[in-house]
Structure formats: C-alpha cells, structure tokens
Amino acid sequence: MDEQQNLSRGDQERLYGWLEGGGKRILVEPEALLTEASKMPGLDGQKMSKSYGNTISLREDPESVAKKLRTMPTDPARVKRTDPGTPEKCPVWSLHLVYSNEATKQWAHDGCTSAGIGCLDCKQPVIDAINRELAPMRERARAYLEDPTLVKNIIADGCDRAKRLAAETMREVREAMGLSYP
C-alpha cells in the first residue's frame, strides 16, 4: 500500500480504515481461511493439482476413485506384504490424515509398521471415506447436468448481485475519498 504514489496517507487511511462517521470499513483486506488440511495431498504425495495428474475430481464415479487409490504408490520400502513400512513415507498416509478418524489412523499406522496389513487393506478406509464425502456432491451436481439452464440462471443472478455490490462499494469509496460524480 505504501508504494501508491497517487494517494495521500489520509486518503489511504480513509479507504483502508474506518469510513468517517459511518463506523464501517471499506476495502477490507481479506484474510486466509484455511482448513485443518490447508494443502490437499495428491495421489502421489505432492500437492493435488490437475497439472500433476494426481487428482480425484469432485464428481468422479466411485469405481474410478477406487481404481485411482488402489493403484497409487505406497511406501517404497514395502516391497513384499511381509515388509514393515513407514507410514510417514507413504502418500496413502497423508490421505489418512485428512479422511480417517483417530481409530482408523492408529489401525493403519500399527498395521503398516508391523506388516500386519497390506497396502490395499490400508487404502480401503480412505477409498470409502472419499466416496462418502463425494456422494452428496455427485447427487447435487446431477440436477445441473440434467438442466444446464439452472447454471445459466445462477450465473446471471450472481452477475446482477455482483454489479449491485460493486456499485455500492464504489459509492462508498468515492464518499470516503471526497469525490462526487453527478
């Protein structure tokens, strides 16, 4: 903000501070809203990204989700089923951290480190949890896929509302700056 040469300090304070007399802030700087898992892990352990090709889409069918998760890489040290593993080195573990409850995480961790469970066994609770989470999204999307005019109407309503809000914000900015347009 300090690099703005065309605004005086007073104007900056009025725009980014309190609107004089109104007790209302305008042009408030947004803050980050992060969930517990602020970075969703992908199927390869990296950040989930379409450009990495390691994603599960929100409307992906349950069979495809299961296939992707069953074929995802695991701890490279676990060559055979009887080899103990290190969950922290396994991309499946990062998905357990997001989707599994404490009991399931403990079961997976203990089973992996003791070679008590195989990698496919470890993946199944994650498959089930992801499919449970995606089920309502698939269901809600079905109506929009069947009737695309619903989407067009939502977009049109959103545009109208955004125009009204933008006009009101610009009115407040002009008022704060002491500018008046006819």
Print burial letters for 20-57: b (CB count within 10 Å at least 16), e (below 16).
eeeeeebeeeeeeeeeeeeeebbbebeebeeeeebebe
Q: What is the pLDDT along the chain (182 residues), one digit of tens a residue?
A: 455 567 676 666 666 555 455 556 777 778 888 877 677 888 988 888 999 999 999 999 999 999 999 999 999 889 898 999 999 999 999 999 999 999 999 999 999 999 999 999 999 999 999 999 999 999 999 999 999 999 999 999 999 999 999 999 888 888 777 787 66
Please indicate, yes or no, whether the overall pTM of this predicted structure exceeds 0.85: no
- Structurally, at CATH architecture level, domain 9-134 sits in Orthogonal Bundle (1.10)
Identity of the amino acid at 26: I
Spans of all domains in the chain: 9-134
